[in-house]
Chain A
Amino acid sequence: MTMTLIETITVGSGGATSIEFTSIPQDGVELYAEFSTRSNNSALVKNIRIYFNGQTGGTYPTCYIDGNGSSTQFSNTGYSFGGRTNSAGSTAGTFTSTGIRMPNYTSTGTHLSLIESVAENAAAECYLFLAAQGLTTSGAITSMKFETSSADTLLEHSSASLYTIS
């Protein structure tokens, strides 16, 4: 098994609402992306979304477990739910770690991603999100977009790395 780093992007001082990789190389067996993020929302953590091939809306059957250290919920939704990102209300300098793994991304049909996301605040609270997210497309996965919820911005030093595994 070989894991190849395709690209790493770091958000600059102006922030950004999203990071999108396009023209993803089709020479891998699996796709893996890592995001280290923090948003400008005043909350401790905020939701994020992950889209593939430009498809938005309720086309992502997602089943997830979401824990915050004191309670846990298990649920599902049709909308993309990529976990949470540390936000401005959490300890300064704390960034969420999110990993997304998609096997067989060059195939057609239903693609299933495994999403893991962890966030933390002041060594007192932690958030763990684990999801299976499906997507039916007519072709291979060629683009991936990671974005904040409305009106939020990914802060400087947030980063994204894309790998292929072959």
Chain B
Amino acid sequence: MSEIPVKIVVDLSKPKGQRESIIPLTKAEIGEREVLATEAEAQRLVDEQAKADAEAARQSGLDKLIALGLTEAEALALVGA
């Protein structure tokens, strides 16, 4: 691995054989990648938490229906499998 990360840029306006450049990342680019990754990961965690919350609410509702006397099959038929 290179000590300094590099990127490959392919300029398609140039003739074949002259298009590829291997360019070391600047400090700003390295910092930007880290910020973007942090933001994306934070968003992913928010999305997953929202899904977990929805699943917990669904299960809670299912449990209450069963507690009212419905069979699990009947409760699932109401809320969806």
Q: How large is the interface on B (under 10, 10 to 19, 20 to 34, 35 or more residues)?
A: 20 to 34
Please classify the interface of chain B as helix (H, G, I), strand (E, B), loop, or mixed, using the class held by over half of its residues.
mixed
Interface string of A117-140 (1 = CB under 8 A from B): 000000000000000000000000
Chain A residue with Cβ nearest B19:
A7
B53 nearest CB across to chain A (Å): 13
Tell whether, in the assembled complex, residue A22 and residue B40 are in contact, meaning their CB atoms are under 8 Å apart: no
Is A47 in contact with chain B by the CB < 8 A criterion? yes
Q: How large is the interface on A (under 10, 10 to 19, 20 to 34, 35 or more residues)?
A: 35 or more
* Interface residue from A6, A17, A75 paired with B12 (Cβ < 8 Å): A6
Contacts between the two chains (Cβ within 8 Å), count = 92
Chain B residue with Cβ nearest A9:
B10
Is B81 in contact with chain A by the CB < 8 A criterion? no
B residues in contact with A57, CB < 8 Å: 36, 39
Tell whether, in the assembled complex, residue B5 and residue A21 are in contact, meaning their CB atoms are under 8 Å apart: no
* Interface residue from A14, A78, A149, A162 paired with B37 (Cβ < 8 Å): A149
A residues in contact with B33, CB < 8 Å: 17, 147, 150-151
Known: A14-B1, A15-B1, A76-B47. A47 touches B40 (CB 8 A): yes
